[in-house]
Structure 1
């Protein structure tokens, strides 16, 4: 075994014991104590899909698709042997777009149950190739279009009856 790994493991155990000792005072825990159970209860959202929520979802997906196109554009300029190449403006814009899309997705999830909103993510399998064809002039195989159409039908079916 690597001695550095062993030292790190032993140090981690000591830290855990110190933290546990600072939280639980000696003599306050009986031998029959139950293990700590952490439960996070989210308020149940019975909200249905409103036009605003659908719009927010579609904007999120469009931002993610645009981010993928930007990642493709910047990928030709990146070099792992030149770390400075990662300071590309295009890459920073793509990362900022992903960050903004994440924040917008959180706003969606505050309004719509995850089980209702998440199936829309399947549309990225249609949007990304469409944006690649439109903006990067990449050829798209007929199977990709057909698969995207099937996914679109699946999203429609999964969201059926969830509208306000």
Structure 2
């Protein structure tokens, strides 16, 4: 169980980083590199990415890449669900179906552990 916690924490942090980054970029408006890197919400999103990267590097020292990297697809699921719940973005039915296929794939990979 702890093995999967270690694997999924950086994946979830990366998805949260996407959500926070999107929120920050919505505040920035039209893309401007200086304004982007001085926006506190954008910087927070980048911090989530940094934390995710450090934890992912720890995962890579313990697990086979062929096992853990496909599990990164879970970040797609988390990102879409949070985009719907937090950002109120529309998610069409076909996208939900695609996410269901991803979840089945993740379960199959996890079962192979």
User: Common fold, TM-score beyond 0.5?
Assistant: yes
Whole-angstrom distance in 2 between the partners of 1:88 and 1:141: 31
Q: How many residues align?
A: 112
- Structure with bigger gyration radius: 1
Corresponding residue of 1:114:
65
Which string of whole-angstrom CA distances, capped at 9 and with x for unpartnered residues, describes residues 37-95 of structure 1? xxxxxxxxxxxxxx212112221121111111111111123244572452111111111
Corresponding residue of 1:4:
none
Cα gap change, 1:65 to 1:85, in 2 (>3 Å): closer
Question: Which structure's residues are more often helix, by fraction?
Answer: 2
> Where does the alignment leave 5 or more consecutive residues of structure 2 unmatched?
none
Corresponding residue of 1:144:
95
Structure 1 residue 161, shift from structure 2 partner:
2.9
Corresponding residue of 1:67:
17
| TM-score, scaled to structure 2 | 0.89
- The alignment partner of 2:86 has SS state of helix
What do you get for the CA RMSD once the two structures are aligned? 1.6
Cα gap change, 1:123 to 1:82, in 2 (>3 Å): closer
| TM-score, scaled to structure 1 | 0.63
